[in-house]
Structure 1
Amino acid sequence: MTSETSTPIRVAAAQCAIGSNMDENLSTCLRVLDKAAEHKPVLVVLPEFCNHLSWYDNAEHCYEVSLTLDSAFLTAISAKAKAIGAYVSIGATLRREGGKVSGSALLYSPQGELLGIADKQVLIGHENDFLEPAQNAAPIIDTDIGRLAMYMCMDGVINETPHCLALRGAQVLCNSLNSFAPDEGNLHIPVRAAENKVFVVAANKVGPLVPEAMMADISAATNIPEVFLCGAGESQIVAPDGTVLAMAQTQDEEVISALITVVAADSKVRPDGTDIIASRRPELYSSLGENPASQSLAVFGGKPDLQAAMIRWQDETIAEMCVLVAEAQRAGAQLIALSPPAAFAHIQENELGHWQLRGAELVSALGEILNDDVYVLSAQVAAQGAAYQHQVVAIASHGVVAEQGQVHFSQRFAWSTLADDFTSVDLPFARVCMLTSDDSIYPESFRLCAMAAAEIAVVPMMPLEHWELQTGLVERAAENRLNLLAPTANFEFGRGFAAGLLEDFTVFGEWKTRIFDGVLTRPPLTDMRDDSAITLAMLHPRYAENKVVSRNTHLIENRPWYLLQPMTTAN
């Protein structure tokens, strides 16, 4: 039965190295659990694949080193959980019926009882050769400290698995990792807490992730520096607002801990009062739960390079803004994204008519100066019969060529009628999707645009929380492999930025233009400038077509579509 107490509890993540000797691996796990016990936690999370390196000679070898539930390895973990009086989450490979093997997270109670098993839903690279993906959704485990759930590594590089767990009521997500990627720590781990308003306790590995004796040969064969064949560390504990409460170093065995108040994860309200669960539109997300094999293939046709610009709009008049647009146009920008004017986020209902006329004036003024191959994207207030709608519009020399209304209700724009779909516009250089600021916090929004073969997303941003720019929008570009323009009028919650995709992307692929840097999906960013209202950025629409992060792991087509009912059905 879940405790409803607001008393803080201490949770811990144990970061360690795991090799090919299973006896030594068990000793390591028991040692770090004893280390964790010194912090007096009620929950300890261990990394993924604690029984053996995720490196196998063949399928028979994988099965041989995998565990049964009554194995000496797991029996010892169960006993240690009881000895230290804490819930313990551990990742391992398990033998399953028919000679199959799963990558699984297991949760043991302080009494040593096995409470639940969560099989990995999204496999990466060679894991597809040896492991079976989950066939059933991971359990939400009701305990006296809260509702706990588990996922592993690549499950959290895309949004679906942790998002579904949160939608089903999980308060604390336990993430076991086996990752070399620095963007796990600086992006993928913390964003899953903030976008779902839950706690995340994540434990990664350090040390070699391949047999140590083979490091040099594997590095030479793959052109991957040896440092990126090791666990990246940075295990962490993250609060529902995205604040990192504790983080480990990158190289050494370490236990981190923090106090958390679990019931804080029950509030899903943004600073403006919007409930991010109640405001979802599941009726619009149905295609996310459909088999990619049955869906029409997206067609990409973007150009390899595109000069873009972001313009910061604070108190400038429309005439002054047109001067800035003309300057960006002279600098070669063909796609120009305007931040919303600073006052836009505080529009009152009695001002809507004024803002609608102001938008029409901007469209007319831009028509006088834009070249035929240049497009400006801007937030607008548009008339919808007797009502109004918050929109993002694409403006050409001959007027508005596309518009996207706000899809999700928000309290600060409660006056806006809601659009019922996401649309993209085919411009001469790329397919572009436009999203209003308050739609950008929902991972479903970008997923649907990416599935429609959008190559660039433009979001005129008015953030309400720091995570939106620090991790949220970066993650949307990363997990969907999208170029992105996200201009902001002020930097209170962070700088607006552009994300321009790089050509080399697929891990273990043939990298032509740069040396592998360990980054899994995070794109390079161009932050908005302090010293100029205009920030130029180069985008690469064509590179959005490659979404294969590693062999047999496509960022969109390998989503666990058959387990996404919590996303596609009303709560």
Structure 2
Amino acid sequence: MTLHRVAAAQFFSGTDTAANLELCTDHIRRAAEGGARLVVLPENSNRLRDYADRQECWEHSPTLDGPFVDGLREAARTHGVYVAAGVDLRGERAPDVHICSVLITPEGEIAGVHRKHVLWDYEYTLFVPGDEPYQVHDTELGRIGLLLCADGIVPDTPRALALMGAQILCNSLNSRGPDEYRVHVPLRSMENRVFHVAANTVGGPADGWPWMGGSQIVAPDGTRLADAGETEPGIVFADIDPTEADDKVMPGVGDLFAWRRTDLYAPLTAPLEELPVARMCGPAPEDMPSRPVRVATLQVSHFHNTDWTVTRAVEQIAYAGRRGADLGVLPSLFCFAPGEVAADPAGAAELSARVLERLSRACADAGVWVVAHLVEEEAGHHYSTAYLLDRSGRVVHTYRKTHLDTGEREWARPGDRIDVVRTEIGTIGLMVGEEVWVPEVARLLTLAGAEIIAHPTDWSTPEAAHVAATERTEENRVHLVSCTRLDSAAEVGSQVLRADEFAPGQPIALMRYPTGYWSRPGFEEQLLVELDLREANSKMMGHHLDPVATRAPELYGMFLD
């Protein structure tokens, strides 16, 4: 095992470019004195963006061969460290400027430049997104991938870099949102099993919304190895072994790269105009009416005995009907005790067939749509299957889980499709359990036009709910209804996250963080939430950023490898 010390610096760059260069070189010096071999600096370390228009942005932006980058190169050479610095660089012609991450070697050479692909809202008025293929840089420290801030709001750039072999993500940020620290940065480590060195701007003018800091170094399992806090400038260090990122196994879940279903991922590389989601991108039409749907999490699972558990589920459906619910979601394998299915999958399939009949009658009696996750048998094979029953009790859609976790591989065969169904209560997609860790599943359902994703689950960790599920809603702008078991190891209750339609004047946090509703864990409870399908038909996260339409499918060939 070879440990390398890495560092993340957070500070605020003002309008004095010379002073900003001195600030950057001082942090490079401090990182080297602290033993770091790699230091990441924030986005736009060169200058505060107080520009009125693109022309002014051009006039104040440096070139790659100009004195600002030369100063960074000299500092890297003097102190013998790798530097990943966020710098806004002029493009080939005026007034084009790109938001860039520049990777500099200890010899002062430029190893690579990444032009930010996904811009944060206002940035589209000043900068030009990059469109170059992704690159991973081989160094003596390990394989390094570069990204910048909003590149990590969506799953695509971090996933592409990880699939290309990156062990360390160097992320320069300029974020005022609380979600980078709490969701994007840790999740991109966890779902890709890579190290993540993230450096954000902090503070700012006293009369303005502050930049959120939260610079951190995150291990492949999501452990925060170093944390600079959200209020003060500083620099943090961690010792890492980059080869740990070659192990893609999430304990209890499986190998997160080996279980990918590239045979199902073709829509990820299709042009936007060929996908059903195209009509949902951008803001919702002004004349689109509200389309309310009341959803309920039917939080009941195996307790006392099987018959009693099924009776409670039937009563939950009836109660949801009396409360005016349109759709109810039951937890993962709700009628089985832990380990029961693996011990006797044939018996579990027989019981599931009987339970499905009872649920069908309950739906018809209550006039409620229900999602139930059970065991299906066909031709001697068993499947981990989610069923959607309509208000008459008819099965209108099934989803055989396509990404099986470690336990399910003992008894189940994976399904062969990820699709949605269009119904009177909206376009619905189904996702099961630990698939919340697979960004491709929710992404594919979104591209297929899902307005609601129903998610029977059994939270294995609090992060599955508060980080992974939250991200699936934020990056796709789709409603997510997750219902968990009473015996969930995470001790986190069921959760409903709404797509949230952007409205001018929203605080930055509300632009980025989906509204959430939770039930209490560990006992039978029912959470009832009214959603509006209109919200899922507006993919805007601000005035200019659509996190679905800004995808670059022509660059995602590695998703199918």
Q: Structure 1 length normalisation: TM-score?
A: 0.89
Aligned counterpart, 2:299:
311
C-alpha displacement of 1:401 = 2.1
Q: Which ranges in structure 2 are unaligned for 5 or more consecutive residues?
A: none
Structure 2 distance, partners of 1:450, 1:344, is: 32
Aligned counterpart, 1:534:
525
The aligned runs of 1:38-437 (5 Å cut-off) are 38-99=33-94, 100-208=96-204, 212=205, 226-227=208-209, 230-272=210-252, 274-296=254-276, 297-298=278-279, 303-315=291-303, 316-340=308-332, 341=334, 343=336, 346-347=339-340, 351-370=344-363, 371=365, 373-396=367-390, 397-414=392-409, 415-437=411-433
CA gap 1:241/1:342 in 2 versus in 1, 3 angstroms: farther
Structure 1 distance, partners of 2:353, 2:253, is: 30
Please identify, of 368-377 and 260-269, the stretch whose mean Cα deviation from structure 2 is larger.
368-377
Question: Does residue 444 of structure 1 match 2:440?
Answer: yes
Structure 1 distance, partners of 2:25, 2:497, is: 44
SS in structure 2 opposite 1:317? Answer: helix
Structure 2 distance, partners of 1:344, 1:43, is: 49
Partners of 1:470 and 1:494 within 8 A in 2: no
How many residue pairs get aligned? The number is: 542
Partners of 1:190 and 1:242 within 8 A in 2: yes
Partners of 1:13 and 1:256 within 8 A in 2: yes
C-alpha displacement of 1:372 = 5.8
CA gap 1:279/1:154 in 2 versus in 1, 3 angstroms: same
Partners of 2:302 and 2:337 within 8 A in 1: no
C-alpha displacement of 1:517 = 5.0
C-alpha displacement of 1:270 = 2.7
The aligned runs of 1:9-20 (5 Å cut-off) are 9-20=4-15
Partners of 1:479 and 1:521 within 8 A in 2: no
Partners of 2:460 and 2:489 within 8 A in 1: no
Structure 2 distance, partners of 1:517, 1:132, is: 22
Letter in 2 for 1:361: R
C-alpha displacement of 1:16 = 0.4
Structure 2 distance, partners of 1:551, 1:289, is: 26
Letter in 1 for 2:296: A
Deviations 1:98-132 (A, max 9, x none): 33321110111122221111111112323223322
Aligned counterpart, 1:557:
549
C-alpha displacement of 1:343 = 4.6
Deviations 1:4-27 (A, max 9, x none): xx2222211100001222112112
Structure 2 distance, partners of 1:546, 1:119, is: 27
C-alpha displacement of 1:205 = 0.5
Structure 2 distance, partners of 1:532, 1:332, is: 22
SS in structure 2 opposite 1:174? Answer: strand
Letter in 2 for 1:534: E
Partners of 2:36 and 2:81 within 8 A in 1: yes
Deviations 1:368-395 (A, max 9, x none): 3334630121111111222111111112
Please identify, of 16-25 and 364-373, the stretch whose mean Cα deviation from structure 2 is larger.
364-373
Structure 2 distance, partners of 1:342, 1:257, is: 48
SS in structure 2 opposite 1:180? Answer: coil
Letter in 1 for 2:378: Q
Structure 2 distance, partners of 1:109, 1:458, is: 47
Aligned counterpart, 1:222:
none
C-alpha displacement of 1:143 = 0.8
Over the residues paired in the alignment, what is the CA RMSD in angstroms? 2.3
Structure 1 distance, partners of 2:404, 2:296, is: 30
Structure 1 distance, partners of 2:155, 2:135, is: 17
Structure 2 distance, partners of 1:405, 1:60, is: 54
Partners of 2:297 and 2:482 within 8 A in 1: no
Structure 1 distance, partners of 2:380, 2:484, is: 30
CA gap 1:419/1:83 in 2 versus in 1, 3 angstroms: same
Deviations 1:68-121 (A, max 9, x none): 222111111112112332211001111232333211101111222211111111
Q: Which ranges in structure 1 are unaligned for 5 or more consecutive residues?
A: 1-5, 217-225
CA gap 1:54/1:497 in 2 versus in 1, 3 angstroms: farther
Letter in 2 for 1:548: M
